[in-house]
Amino acid sequence: MNSSVKKLMALVALSAATTSFCTSAAEEEWRANMDKARTLLQQGKPIDAEMTLRTTLTTVQKLKHDQMYGRYMGLLGGSLFTQNKNKEMIPFAEDALKTFYALPANQWPPPSVFFNNHSDLAISYQMQGKLKQAELQYYKAIAIADKMKPGERDRPWLKTCFDNLLYCLHAEKKADEEKKAREQLKKMLG
């Protein structure tokens, strides 16, 4: 093997090692940002959480779409939702859900993650007057909550979803569906 081929092979090996290292460092950074953003949201600092997540958003968007990608998008959407940036949050929540549903079922996050993304998305649509889209997302959130164990459900948030669904159905003059939703509410929440 001549020296040029050896140099080329060494350069390729070095490039692969460096790329792997950078990818690993980038992954550590965005995972750390997710942890920091969760803490900031728990502290009631959604603006800081949003800014933290946006610093590595471009890196995350280049990654394969797996559960962590979906959680990142959902967390960013949640930080925007908390700030009432409803129109801005929609693409992130939709991307998170699209990613989750594309995964094999054994790789899905817990039902509460789906519930939160669907309910936040529903409220964001409702706040923009898009009642049909909101209604669909409320139904999805409620269907997920219905399959959860009662202790896993966030009762006040589920009640909010039902109340908002009832508002949408009433505004759309869907009396039969509104009646069925009220019955389901009683069944689920007592």
What is the number of domains present in the chain? 1
- Residue 172 structural domain: 53-189
Residue 175 maps to a domain: yes
Nearest residue to 55 (alpha-carbon basis) of 26, 82, 77: 26
Q: Phi and psi dihedrals of 49, rounded to 5?
A: -65, -45
Amino acid at 60: V
Q: Quick one: pLDDT at residue 6?
A: 41
**Contact call for residues 177 and 169 (beta carbons, < 8 A):** yes
∠ CA 52-55-59, nearest 5°, is 130
pTM of the model: 0.79
Q: What's the chain's average pLDDT?
A: 84
- In order, the DSSP letters of 93-120 are HHHHHHHHHHS-GGG---HHHHHHHHHH
CB 75 within 8 A of CB 38: yes
- 48 found inside a domain: no
- In the chain the first and final C-alpha atoms are separated, in Å, by 78
Residue 47 lies in a domain: no
CATH of the domain at 138: 1.25.40.10
pLDDT at res. 21 = 32
Nearest to 127 by CA among 83, 76, 86: 86
Q: Would the pLDDT of 28 be above 70? A: yes
Is pLDDT above 60 for 8? no
Q: Read off the pLDDT of residues 128-144 as tens digits, 9 standing for 90 and up.
A: 999 999 999 999 999 99
Using the 8-state DSSP alphabet, how is residue 55 labeled?
Answer: T
Q: Cα 54 vs. chain centroid, distance in angstroms?
A: 15
Residue 30 within a domain: no
Q: What is the pLDDT of residues 72-113, one digit of tens each?
A: 999 999 999 999 999 999 999 999 999 999 999 999 899 999
What's the Cα-to-Cα distance from 35 to each of 42, 146, 156, rounded to whole Å? 11, 29, 26
